[in-house]
Structure 1
Amino acid sequence: MKVRILGCSGAICGVGGGTTSLLVDDDILIDAGTGVGELSDAELAHIDHVFITHSHLDHTAFLPLMVDAAAEYRTQPLTVHAPQVTLDILHAHLFNNLIWPDFTVIPSAAAPAVQFAALEVGHSMSLRGRTLTALPAQHVVPAAGYAVDSGAGSLVFSGDTTTNPVFWAIVSAMPRLRHVIVETAFPDAHRATAVAAQHYCPSLLAADLHDVRFDAELLISHLKPVHAAQIMRELNTALHRFDPHRLDAGRVFEL
């Protein structure tokens, strides 16, 4: 199994600065932020499943656009997975015939371009030997993270979250764990904003990880570009035992 980072920025910031999207092999996306723009129409046509962490645009903006771009090349609907509450938000506020056509009934209700499939936190599903599990997240809208397990190794992605000890208890007990991707959007100088927006800043993440142990690479995503260097300096001081590294678009993990 390969996981390719299409985008991981906390805001758009030019070439290579797309927002969150991870490509698993050639047929699964985790989130559909502007990083999806790195894919060709042919690559988009190969994607059968999209797992959404939450409804915010930096994680969903290219979902409606990719449906339209690939529609002529596909014979089966694209399946969008998320907790039911998030699917309801996407249907009500995105695929609503106002912001974008309702592709859950286009070209017909019997043969739609998009179908929704609920995956609740704590539940897993297997797709061609790969297991995806929805993990708890704490954000200003309903949210989830995801673990992807090939059977030989696993990668965890927090999605957008703030203080979340339940998530870390699950992660620290996970077998075959190779990589943990966690967001940290703000520096500690903006801790009040991080708390209000329910994102991590370095001190909040360090508090959550104080008594946590795992043997896996810790990677930081969703940094606000203007603060990225400061955030990483603070994380490397606060979490030196984990040796955290900034996640970069284009990186490929083999599991």
Structure 2
Amino acid sequence: MLKFAANLSLLFTEVPLLERFKMAKQHGFTAVEIQFPYSLNVQLLHDVLEENELKLVLFNVDADDLLQGGEGLACVPDKRQQFQHAVDQAIAYADILKPELINVLPSRCLTAQHHQEYLNTFKENLIFAVQAFAPLGIKTVFEAINTYDMPGFIIHSGEHMRGVLDALKQPNLFMQYDIYHMTRMGEDVNRFIVDYSDKIGHIQFADCPGRNQPGTGDIDFERVFATIATSVYSGWVGAEYNPVGATVDSLQWFNPK
């Protein structure tokens, strides 16, 4: 049976972030993920997780200005020190929140001739993050994002992620595989999951196009969920979509036991 986690950065946004934990619990989730938890006091987050008997599966290292249209952080050569400070911040939260995984967003290069330099910087920063998180028992993941929503993103396919894994050979490093983003890039997500599920540390999903709940787009989620369930992947599957209508009404795909 698949283990689903609610992404509280996108789901239950009808209420403030701290109130979303209770809503997730009330609607059957036992685990959650947050993109960036740093706006909230870490002890307060810990307490609300305990109060609602929820596990925090994953959060991201800070990505600077990525979501505001900038280059981001992890691949930018002149931001190496800032990235290391962001990893230290993630460790401070991880010490208390005990996530299974921390995601490093590769970010993007907006000047084509600098691509290789940015990619090399990302690989170096990724090794730094892996070596920082491993002693805490935390896996490091990184993800590919489609270049329609985020032009210039330096990792934008499953093959790109595999190339980074093969180059770095870090045993505590895994792919974060996003069904929406890779479908948007034309990838056969079912085939990729079958072939490489042992190298995937986390899966997220939304329908495509639109990045909304299952049933609003073209993805056959019955098939996708069956593919995940029959693969060797045993991790969490994060619902990271923008609900059409109220979040509660978007949960028809979810049947908690």
TM > 0.5 fold call: no
- Structure with a larger share of its residues in strand: 1
Structure with the higher helix share, 1 or 2: 2
Which category of TM-score, normalised to the shorter sequence, fits these structures? 0.3 to 0.5
Question: TM-score when scaled to structure 1?
Answer: 0.38
TM-score where L is the length of structure 2: 0.38
